[in-house]
A and B are shown apart, each in its own frame.
Chain A
Amino acid sequence: ELKVEQNPLFLSMQEGKNYTIYCNYSTTSDRLYWYRQDPGKSLESLFVLLSNGAVKQEGRLMASLDTKARLSTLHITAAVHDLSATYFCAVDKGTSYGKLTFGQGTILTVHP
């Protein structure tokens, strides 16, 4: 059974600081996704990582994938209040493309 674990589950940051959210998964997969969810809303796609060593950046967020270590990271640079949200990573179940298994989510709060 595929398991996806995020760390930390809660993250309180000061504006301007850097931090990293980690996503570990238990079985081989080549597709990893990062999503953002605001309270009461659905998911917003942030990144799709498709191969080992993939790195993608958008604004203050950068995601990377190490398939050998079964680890993805979401790095936040110089956090701002607008980044406050819940962040989920999700892994595709390999042969059944599209069947995503989600991590628990990381609740990020950025303080002035």
Chain B
Amino acid sequence: GAVVSQHPSWVICKSGTSVKIECRSLDFQATTMFWYRQFPKQSLMLMATSNEGSKATYEQGVEKDKFLINHASLTLSTLTVTSAHPEDSSFYICSARRDRGSYEQYFGPGTRLTVT
């Protein structure tokens, strides 16, 4: 159990366009989902926390108008990169947690975004 999927697994888009990435918990309900970004050969950086039914909270330095997060249901969170630029090219990884008291979170397989 505790499987998290992401779609797409990779995407190439042109500069100025928007891209939506989906994160789904397949066999459990996730009250909270997290979005991380990982640049090549670097560590993971938390971008935002997404709670079902409420607005996402963004980490310092992350532009909320550029990275739109919607947690529409207990099994789905989406990250939309608006007006993407080459510097947004990165590996985006989501994770999901069953409830606020749970210490375990389950990571998705990641989405590689390349902006040309």
Contact = CB atoms under 8 A, between A and B. Distances in A.
Contact of A98 (B34, B109, B110): B34
Interface in B1-54: 32, 34, 42-46, 49
A103 B45 CA distance: 10
B104 A48 contact: yes
A41 B45 CA distance: 16
Contacts of A41: 109-110
Contacts of B106: 45
Most chain B beta-carbon contacts within 10 A, residue among A43, A96, A99: A43
A101 B103 CA distance: 14
B67 interface: no
A102 interface: yes
Interface residues of B, number: 23
Contacts of A104: 42-43
A88 interface: yes
Interface string B89-116: 0000101010011111111111010000
A31 B103 contact: yes
B105 A103 contact: no
B103 A92 contact: yes
Interface of B: 32, 34, 42-46, 49, 93, 95, 97, 100-110, 112
